[in-house]
Amino acid sequence: MPSGGPRPNSGRPKGKRDGYQRHRPSERARKRTDEFLDIAKAQRLTMPVEWLLHRLSDESLPPEYRDRLAAMAAPYVSPRLSAVAVTKRVSAMSDTEIAQWLDIAEEDLQRLKNRQMRWLQKLH
């Protein structure tokens, strides 16, 4: 018997949305599913984030409530900020900035030689 990998005739049959061939939902369950899908299409149901954004744009709501809505929607709408060092190109630096950068690099190299410090991750 083979181990791992796909097996012939396994999984949900193509075109089925209610489960496996062995498990046949009742006619009543199938009708309920179809009714729910029809209602969802007719009412044009929105995703929770869309609903939050819609409520957020409602000017009649108190500002404190809208602030809470914005905080709830923020993780789904905008990316998190990450800690990334932003540096200028060397051609855009002044002479003093280049000198400061070189001093810091020399200090780091000295620490590495003395094994007081190690690189936490690759820089590029």
CA–CA distance, 80 with 70 (Å, rounded to integer): 14
- pLDDT category of residue 61 using cuts at 50, 70 and 90: very high
54 sits in which H/E element = helix 48-56
How high is the pLDDT of residue 29? Answer: 77
**pLDDT of the residue at 2:** 59
3 state DSSP class of 98: helix
Task: Tell whether the model's pLDDT for residue 17 goes beyond 80.
Answer: no
Q: pLDDT tens across 82-94, in order?
A: 666 667 788 888 8
- How far apart CA 67 and CA 61 sit, in angstroms, is 10
Q: 111 in helix, strand or coil?
A: helix
What are 26-46's pLDDT values in tens digits?
777 778 878 877 887 777 766
pTM value is 0.34
Pick from 7-16, 62-71, 108-117 the range whose average pLDDT is largest.
62-71
Residue recorded with tokens 């855009």: 92
Predicted confidence (pLDDT) at residue 54 exceeds the cutoff of 80: yes
Q: Which of 51, 81, 87 is nearest to 69 (CA)?
A: 51
Q: Token digits for 56?
A: 């957020």
